[in-house]
Amino acid sequence: LALNGRSDGRHHELVLDSIDTPYGALTARAKLDGVKPFALTGEATYAGKLSDEPVDARARVSGSLEALVADVDASGMKLSGRAHVEAAPFGAVPLTRASLAFDHVNPQALAPGAPAADLAVRAELAPVTAPAGTAPAKGFAVTGPVSIVNAKPGTLGDHLLPVIDAHANVHLDAHAQRIDDLALKLIRDGSVTGNGTLTGGKGRFDLKVANLDLNAFVAELRPMRLGGPLGVTLAGDVTTVDFDLNDPKLALGARAKVALTPQQTVLTDARVTAAKGRIDLTGVFRHDAHSSYDAKATLTAFDPLLLAAMSAPKAGGGKAAANAKAPARRGETRVSGTLTASGAFAPQVSTKATFKLGDSLYDGVPLTGAGVVQLAGSRILPSNANLSIAGNHVDLRGSFGAPGDRLRFVVDAPQLDRLGFGVEGLVQAQGDLTGSFAHPNVTATYKAERVVVGSNRIGAAQGRADIRDGAHGALVFTADATDIALGSLKLKSLRANLNGTRAKHTLDASALGTTGGRVIDVTLAANGGVVENRDGMRWDGTVTRLANRGTPAVALQAPLTVSAGAGRVALGATRLTLEGAAIDLKSFVFDHGQMRSAGSVRGASVARFLEVRQELTGQRPPVRTDVVLDADWDFSLGANATGYVQVKRRGGDVTIESGRGIASLGLTDLSARASFAPGNRLNVTALAKANRIGTLDANVTVPFALRDGVFGVVDDGPLSGRIDADIPSLKATGNLFGPSYLLGGRAALKLTVAGTPVKPNLSGMLTGDDLSATLVDQGVQLKDGIVRVKLSENLVEFQQVEFHGGDGTLRALGRVRLDGEAPDLTASIVADKLELFAAPDRKLSLSGKATVANDGPRGALSIDGKFVVDRALFDLPEESAPHLSDDVVIVQPDGTVRGETPTGTAVAKPPPATDKPAPSVAPRANIDIGLGNNFRFKGHGADLGLRGTITVMSAPGVPLRAVGNVRVTEGSTYTAFGRKLAIENGFFTFNGPVSNPGVNILAMRRNQEVEAGVQVTGMIQSSTVKLVSEPNVTDNEKLSWLLFGHGTDQGNNVGQQGAMTAALALLGSATGKRVAQTIGLDEFSIGRSDVGLTDPQVVQVSKAINERFVLGYEQGLQSASNAFKATINLTR
C-alpha cells in the first residue's frame, strides 16, 4: 500500500499510488474543495485478474457533493459495460439519474461459490418530465426500466442460475419508492410477478408465484409446480415475509410467516404438506452474542419420499432395457413424531437434539426410533439414538472427543433396497470410537453383500479395522472383496492386508480383473511407518514389490524407498520395466511446487507404446514404426532451474503406406533436448534426419517461471530461436507416395523466431529450385518450378512462385498476414496456357486468373476466378476398369468396412462426393470456366466437341453447384448398337449440383427411307431415352431402321411376328450387338425373306460396305434354299 495526501486548509487531495492485492492493483486520486458546494474530482483504476482472466476498470467522479457525477467503465472476463450516475447525496431523492449497461456479467467469476451465468444488465433512470401542456409534478422524481437477461440459464445442480430474465419499472421521489410491473421468469416455465411501494420506511410488496419448480434449485427434490402469493411487509425495523404455495396436482404445499427484527428472526405458522401428511415448524433464531436458537418440528403422517427425486429408468430399448428390473411397488410410508433442537452457533456450534417417532411406517414396515444427540464444538456429549427403517437398524450410544469417551455404533442393514433410494444389498458394521476427531481410535468389523449403487456393484466384501493413535498404536485394516464393478473397472478379486503399528507396518495388496477390456493383474507389497511432525503426517517406507501382468506391463526390479507427506513426495533410486523399457530412476523429489529428478530410460519401443495407447483410448496408431528411444534427465526446478531432459533414437524407422506397399522414411537421426539456462529460460533443440525426406534442425528458447507452485511458460516473456528444414532431393521423397508420383527438385526453409510465446514473430525464407511434379496415372506434369516465399515479422510474401506445364506457366502472387486472429490473405494465381494434363488420352491446357482473399471475420476464404480452356482432349477407354458389384462388401481384419458407411445396423453406400455439403471451413468460391474452341471428349461411344461456359460455386455447408450451358458442336457423333449416329442437337444445362445437369440430345441415322435415332432428355441422373423417327413409325420399326437400315417383316403369322420381335429385342440389346460384332457382321436376324425365298423363316446376315452398299446372305430354316443379295440405296 502506497498512500499520500495534502491540504492547505481548504483544498484537500488524497492519492492512492498503489495497493497490490491477490486480485490486482488499484490506484486512485481525489480532490475536494472545502467550501460549499464542495467541488469534487477524482479517478480510480483497477487492473488485475479474477478467475485467472484479466480485468480492467476505470471510474471518474466530478461535480460536487450536492450534485455528484460518476462514470464507470469495465472490461475483462468477457465482461464489457459502462455506468453513468448523477446523484444528490444529501437531497430528498439521492439518485437523480442513472444509466447502466453491462454485458456478460458472470457471478461465478466474482465469487467462486456462486452459480455461473451470462447476464446482460440494463437500467435507465431519468427525471420525470410532465407531458406538454400540463403542470409539472410536485417535487423531484426519477423513473425508468431495469432489466436483467441471462443468456445461460440452468439448474443450481449444474452450477447455473435458474433465472431467464427479470424486468421492472422503478419510480423514486421524495416521498415513496415504487416498483411496478416486476416480472421474474425462471426456467421450466416458472415466474414471479407483482409490484410494491415503500413510503417513510413502511411498505408492502405483493407478488404472485407460478410454476415454481424447486428441483431446479435443490436437485434432491422432485419436480413440482408451486404457485401462490408471496408478500413482503416493511414496518420500521420489522420485516415480515409470508407465503402460501401449493401444487394441487401433486398435493404438495408450503406456507410460512417469517418476522425479521434487529433482535431475532421468528418462524411461525410454517407448514409443509405432502398428500395427507404434514410438518409443522416453529423457531426463534436470536441475534445475540451466541446466535442462540430454539426450533421444533412436528411430523404427522408425513411421507418424505413424496418430496424426494427418485431416479427414473433411462429412455431406451434393447436388451439392457428388457433386462432392467421394474421398480418394486412401495408400501405405505408415514412418519409421525417430534424433533426439537436448541443451542448456539457461537463461539462454537453446540446443540441438543431430541427426537421421538410415534405411529410410523416405512415401506409398510414399522418405523421406530428415539434418542438424544448432543454436540459441543468438536465433542459429542453423551448421546443415545436408535433408528429402525424398513428392517434396517442403526444404534448409536456413548460419547466421543475427550479422554474416557467411547462411542459404540451398530449398523445392520440387510434390506437396503427397501429404503427406496436406488441402493440394494446388505451392509453390516459394528465397532467403537475413542479419542478425538484429531486423534481418533477406531475398532470395527464390516461386511457387504450384493451391494448396488447405480452402475457400481460389490458382490461381496468383508474385513476389519483397528486404528489407534500414537506411534505404537495398532494400524490394522483388511479387505477381501470379489465381483467389484466401478464404472469401466471390473475386478474379480481385491485383497488388501495392512498390519502393524503406525510406526512400523506392512502392506500386501492384489487386484485381478479388467478395465475397459484390458487385463489388470496387480500386486503390491510395502513396509514402512507414519511419522508426525510440525508439517503434519508423513509416510516413510519401501515398496518391495510392484507388478502388473496386464496392460501396461510394469515390474519393479529393485526396492523403492518412498517418503510422502503434505506437499512433498520423495522417491529413492530404483529400477523397473515399463512395457519392455528399462527405467533407471536415480532420484525424484517434489517439495511444495519445487521438483528435482535424475534418471534414464533405455529401449523404449514407440510401437509398443502406441499399441498401449490404442488399448487405452481406442485410437489407431497414426504411423507404423519400429523406432526405439533412449532418454536421460537430470534437472532441478525451483526459484531457479538447472539441468536437462533429452531423448535420442537408438534405432528403427518410420514406415508409411504408399502405392508400392510399405515405404520407410530412412531415419538416421532423431533427438531432442531441453536444457535450463540462467535467467529461467528453457532452451529446446531438436534434430531429425531421414534419407527420403531431409533434415529438420530447430533451436528455440522460451521463458518460464514458477507460478502458484506450477512451472509454466511466461506468456509475455521474450522468445527466440531458429528453425531450419532442408529437403535436398524431392525425388527420394516422391518415392514415398508410390510409382504414380514423381517429384523433383530441392526445397529449404529457414526461420527465425522472436516475439513472445503468446505473440510469436516469425521471419525467414522458403526456397525451392528445379521443382517438378508428375502424376503418371493422370498425365499431370509441372516442371521447372521455382519458389521464393519471404516471411518478415509474420508477413508472408510470395516473391516468386512459378511452375511450367508444357509451353505454359503457373504463377502465384500475394501476401498473408499471420499475426491476427484470422490470417489476412490477399493472393492471385495466374495460368498462361498451362498444360496440366499431357497424357496421350488426357490433355488439358488452360489460361486464366483467380484471386484468393479473406471472407468475413471468421477466417474463411473467398476465391474468384475466370479460366478458359485452350485445348482439351479426354479419351476414355471403351470399357471401364473392373469393379465389384454393389452387393459385395469387404470387411477388413480390423472390422472396418472399406468404402462403406455404417448406418444403424445396415451398411449403406456413402453419397457421391459432389452431393455432400461442403465442410464449414470450405472456401466461398465463384469460378468461371470457359471450354474454349478446342475441347474434345471421346469415350463410351461418344465423340463430342464441347463449347460453353460454366460457373462453379461453393460455400461453407453447401454442396458444390454449377450454373451454365454447354452445347455439343457440329460433327459430334455417338455410336450405338454398332451404328455411328450424328448428334444434331446437344445441350447440357447446369443449374444445381455439378453431377446432375440437365441434358437434351438428339442423335439420328439419316439418308434412308425412315430416318431413326435416339433422343435423351431430363436430368443426367434420371434421364429419359426414347426412339424417334421421321416419319413416325412403331418402336419395332424405329429400332430396325436404326440397326439395319430397313424395316421389319410385315408377315401376318402371329408366331412369326413374335419370333421377329424377340429377335429384334435380342439384337437391340448389348448381347445382340456382341453376337454380330464378334463375327464381323452388321446384321444377324430371323424373319421373312427379302428376295423371295419361300421358307416362312430365314436367317439373314449382312455386312454394310458403306452407308449405301450392303452385301447379304439368306438361308431357309425349313429347306435348303438360299440366296446372296446386294443392296444399293440410290436415294432415301
| The pLDDT of residue 733 | 80
| The pLDDT of residue 141 | 82
| The pLDDT of residue 1059 | 43
Q: Express as a percent the part of the chain with pLDDT over 70.
A: 85
Straight-line distance from the first to the last Cα atom of the chain, in angstroms, rounded to the nearest whole number: 113
Q: Are strands 860-875 and 924-930 parallel, antiparallel or unpaired?
A: parallel
In the three-class reduction of DSSP (H, G, I as helix; E, B as strand; rest coil), residue 829 is classed as: strand
Residue 982 CA: distances (Å) to CA of 137, 622, 971, 1005: 95, 55, 7, 7
| The pLDDT of residue 80 | 86
Give burial (CB, 10 Å; 0-12/13-18/19+) of 1124: exposed
Nearest-10 Cα torsion for 1014, 1018, 1022, 1028: -20
Contacts of 172 (CB under 8 A, 6+ apart): 93, 95, 125, 141, 142, 143, 178
In angstroms, the CA 561 to CA 544 distance is 9
Residue 633 CA: distances (Å) to CA of 172, 397, 593: 71, 58, 19
Give burial (CB, 10 Å; 0-12/13-18/19+) of 42: middle
Contacts of 339 (CB under 8 A, 6+ apart): 296, 297, 298, 299, 353, 354, 355
Q: Helices 1054-1067 & 1035-1043, crossing angle to 10 degrees?
A: 50
| The pLDDT of residue 108 | 86
pTM of the predicted structure, to 2 decimals:
0.63
Place of cell 511407518: 529
In angstroms, the CA 156 to CA 678 distance is 49
Contacts of 957 (CB under 8 A, 6+ apart): 917, 918, 919, 920, 922
Joined grid coordinates for residue 50:
479474477
| 10-residue mean pLDDT series, the chain (1132 residues) | 84 85 83 88 86 83 90 85 87 82 88 89 84 56 92 92 95 86 95 93 93 93 95 93 96 96 94 95 94 96 88 38 47 92 93 95 90 94 94 94 94 90 92 91 96 92 93 92 91 96 94 87 95 85 94 92 92 93 94 89 90 78 87 88 92 78 84 88 92 92 76 82 92 76 89 88 91 78 89 87 87 81 77 82 86 70 88 73 64 53 41 50 80 84 87 79 90 77 88 83 87 86 83 84 71 43 47 50 66 71 68 66 72 54
Query: What type of residue is 329?
Result: R
**What digits encode the pLDDT tens for the residues 365-420?**
889 999 999 999 989 999 999 999 988 999 999 999 998 999 999 999 999 988 87
| Number of C-beta neighbours around residue 996 at 10 A | 18
**Cα atoms in the 13 Å half-sphere on the side-chain side of 94:** 3
Q: Alpha helices of 1029-1116 — where are they, by DSSP H?
A: 1035-1043, 1054-1067, 1070-1078
